[in-house]
Amino acid sequence: MNQPIQPLRIALVGYGKMGREVERIALDRGMEITARIDIDSPSASTDEVRKADVAVHFAIPATVQMHVEELARLRKPIVVGTTGWTKQAQAIQSIVESEGIGLVYASNFSVGVNIMYRLLREAGSLFDRFAEYDVSVHEVHHKDKLDAPSGTALSIADVLLNTIKRKRGVLSGSPEGKIRPEELQVTSGRYGAVVGIHRVTFDSMADSIEIVHTAKNRTGFALGAVVAAEWVKDKKGMFTFEDVLADLFKQPR
Ligand SMILES: NC(=O)c1ccc[n+]([C@@H]2O[C@H](COP(=O)([O-])OP(=O)(O)OC[C@H]3O[C@@H](n4cnc5c(N)ncnc54)[C@H](OP(=O)(O)O)[C@@H]3O)[C@@H](O)[C@H]2O)c1
């Protein structure tokens, strides 16, 4: 007789705007939430977390390394949506590798943004041939966001630096005097309740092309994180959401 399929059990590490949205989507898909970790119960080494198949982290950047250490000790695969921890990336990668767990991270779990990265890779390699065009990145988020520029803007900048040879580094913010031509300017706006806007502008004397992603709500991020949680539960190693999507795009529809 076939065994009934056990629904995925998720521990939510961080139970704010994103944690709650992940919960809504996961419950909609018949999954179970075993733990909700927040500032009042900040340890991820609880009995409720032990019962989970996967942990999903949407908390604050300062907690990422500590939580990854705790979760790795429990041998829990992790989806990290929290942004602003690139300085700890090396340390986190060593923990993941030495403990043999799986971790998927992305500064942006929306499918739309990940498709935008692909469009930008193509656009960047075309504009690389035309020095008349300059390129810049502008992002806007709500007034409570902790990090600037956003992790997504930095991922976009990476794609552009890897495809447009005349751009060699990021200038986040305003230049002192004139901007150097090899600098890729990344600017940020923080106001109101904006969920997230990322705008890339290719501009010349003749014309201008813009590629813009506008998040309408948090659903797209949460859905991507839940898809990543299903995917990573039996994997080992560090992955990005682009790896998850590349794998899913390979599967027959
Ligand atoms: N990758 C993506 O697609 C994506 C999309 C959106 C947002 N993000 C990122 O996700 C993160 C969370 O965003 P959000 O909008 O959900 O923020 P939020 O609403 O402020 O939620 C943060 C959560 O972290 C909890 N927290 C704070 N300190 C903690 C600690 N020491 N231990 C455990 N939990 C702690 C907070 O608890 P209290 O509520 O009790 O203070 C809250 O539940 C941010 O880094 C944001 O940039 C990523």
pLDDT of residue 2: 56
- Residue corresponding to tokens 């020095």: 131
Residue bearing the CA closest to ligand 1, atom 18 = 16
Question: CA–CA separation, 1 vs 15, rounded Å?
Answer: 39
Substitution site in 15, 17, 38, 68 for ligand 1 pocket (most atoms within 8 Å of beta carbon): 38
| Residue 57 bears catalytic tag | no
Q: Say yes or no to pLDDT of 1 above 70.
A: no
* Residue ranges per structural domain of the chain: 9-109+218-250, 111-214
| CA 57–ligand 1 middle distance (angstroms) | 8
Nearest protein Cα to ligand 1, atom 15: 17
Q: Which fold has domain 111-214?
A: Dihydrodipicolinate Reductase; domain 2 (3.30.360)
- Per-residue confidence (pLDDT) for residue 91, from 0 to 100: 97
Nearest Cα residue to atom 9 of ligand 1: 82
At 69-106, the pLDDT tens digits run: 999 999 999 999 999 898 999 999 999 999 999 999 99
Q: Which residue has the higher pLDDT, 202 or 248?
A: 202
Question: What pTM was computed for the model?
Answer: 0.88
**Looking at residue 73, what is its pLDDT?**
96
Split at pLDDT 50, 70, 90, the class of 252 is confident
Q: Which atom of ligand 1 is nearest to the CA of 145?
A: 47
Query: From CA 32, how far away is CA 52, in angstroms rounded?
Result: 9
Q: Is residue 106 lining ligand 1, measured as CB closer than 6 Å? A: yes
CATH number at 9-109+218-250: 3.40.50.720
Distance CA(187)–CA(150), nearest Å, equals: 10
pLDDT score, position 81: 97
**Choice among 57, 67, 76, 141 that is catalytic:** 141
Question: Is the Cβ atom of 149 under 6 angstroms away from ligand 1?
Answer: no
| Contact predicate 229/10, CB 8 Å | yes
Please compute the mean of the pLDDT values over residues 199-224 and round it to a whole number.
97
- How many A from CA of 146 to the centre of ligand 1? 10
Distance of CA 65 to the CA centre of its chain: 16
pLDDT in tens, 167-211: 999 999 899 999 999 999 999 999 999 999 999 999 999 999 999
Distance 82 CA to ligand 1 centre (A): 7
Q: Does any ligand 1 atom lie closer than 6 A to the CB of residue 248? A: no
**Residue 45: what are its φ and ψ, rounded to 5°?**
-100, 60
Cβ neighbours, 10 Å, residue 41: 12
**Rounded to whole angstroms, how far apart are CA atoms 200 and 145?**
20
Residue 83 alpha carbon, nearest atom of ligand 1: 45
* Nearest alpha-carbon partner for 135 in 228, 58, 203: 203
CA of 122 to the centre of ligand 1 (A): 33
Which helix (H) or strand (E) segment holds residue 222: the answer is: helix 219-232
Active-site residue flag, 145: yes
Question: Angle CA(150)–CA(156)–CA(161) in degrees, nearest 5?
Answer: 125
105 lines ligand 1 (CB under 6 A): no
